[in-house]
Amino acid sequence: MSEVVPLVAAEDTALFGSKAVGLGQALRDGLPVPPGVALAGAVVDAVAGRDEEAIRRVAESVAALHGPLAVRSSAVDEDGADASFAGQHLTLLNVRGAQKLTAAVSEVWWSANSDSAITYRQRVGLFTRPSVGVVIQALVDPETAGVMFTQNPVTGADERVIEASLGLGEAVVAGRVIPDHYRVSREGEILERTAGRKDVAFRSLADGGTFEEQVAPELVERLCLGDDQLAELNRLADRCEQVYGQARDIEWAISGGTLYLLQCRAVTRAGA
C-alpha cells in the first residue's frame, strides 16, 4: 500500500491518522473539502530525517494542488487510546515552496516528539514511539471563516451555533477576536445574530506564513454572514450529521463565494 495518497484515498487510520481519514471520508461522501494528500507516519518520519526520496515523493504528490498549502498533523491512534495529544495538533498555514514544505512536515514530526508530547504519553501510559501522519491541502484563503456546532454545545438545544469572523479561521480558534455569533434552527430559521468585535483578521503573506491585519473600523462590528450563507451552513450541518452522526464540531471557510469544510469532529465538552 502506498504511503503517499490523495486525501480521498486515505482510509487506514493506523497509517494516515484520524484527521486524514476523516477528511478522506468526507471527500468520498461528497462534502466540500479542499483537495489534498495524506502522508503516512513513516513518510513523515523519512521527510523529517531529510530522506531525499521521501522528499521527492511528497513534492510530486502536491504538484497538482497549485499555490500555497496548509499542512496539518494527523495523529495516529494507538491501541485505542485518545490521540488528542498535547502538541500533536499542529496546523501550518500558507506554506510555499519545496523547502518550506519539508520544514513544515518536519515541524509536525517534532510536535509529536516534543518534550510536552512525550510527557503526556508517559502520563497516560503510552511507551511506544509516536507516529504522526500529515494532511497537506490547498490553502483556502477565505473572506469569512469560523466554527459551527450542529447542536448547541452549551444548552444541548437542537440548533446550529455558528461563530464567524473575517479572514482565516485561526482568529476564531485562537481567540483573537470576539466572533459574530449566530443560532439557526434545524429548519433554517435564524434565531439569533449578534455581531462580535472583529478587530483583526488573519491573512496569508505572499512569501509564506500569516499576519494579523487590522480590520477597517466600519467592519469591526458589522455582521459578516448573510442569510444565504447561514442557509448554506445549515445545509452543510445537515450533510455532516447524515455522514458522521449527531453533534458535530465543524471548521468551515468561505472563499470566492464557495463554502468549504475544513474539519468535522465529534463535539467534546469542556473537561471531557
Partner 1 sequence: MSGAPIAVLQRVPLFAELDESELARVASVFKERRFSQGETVIQQGSGAAAFFVIDSGEVTVLVDGIERRVLQAGDYFGEMALIDAGARTATVKAATDLVCSGVTFWDFRPIVEENGVIGWKLLQTLIEIYRSERDGPPAPG
- Site residues (vs partner 1, CB under 8 A): 48-51, 103, 106-107, 109-110, 113-119, 122, 129-130
Look up residue 76 and give its three cell numbers. 495516529
Task: Say how far apart CA 18 and CA 24 lie, in whole Å.
Answer: 10
Task: Say how far apart CA 201 and CA 268 lie, in whole Å.
Answer: 26
Pick 111 or 165: Cβ nearer partner 1: 111
| Residue reference for cell 439569533 | 192
Pick 44 or 172: Cβ nearer partner 1: 44
Phi, psi (degrees; rounded to nearest 5) at 103 = -65, -40
Pick 115 or 187: Cβ nearer partner 1: 115
CB 114 to partner 1: min, Å: 6
CB 202 to partner 1: min, Å: 18
Pick 18 or 114: Cβ nearer partner 1: 114
Contact 170, 185 (CB under 8 A): no
Contact 139, 94 (CB under 8 A): yes
Bridge partners, residue 23, by sequence: none
CB 105 to partner 1: min, Å: 11
CB 167 to partner 1: min, Å: 23
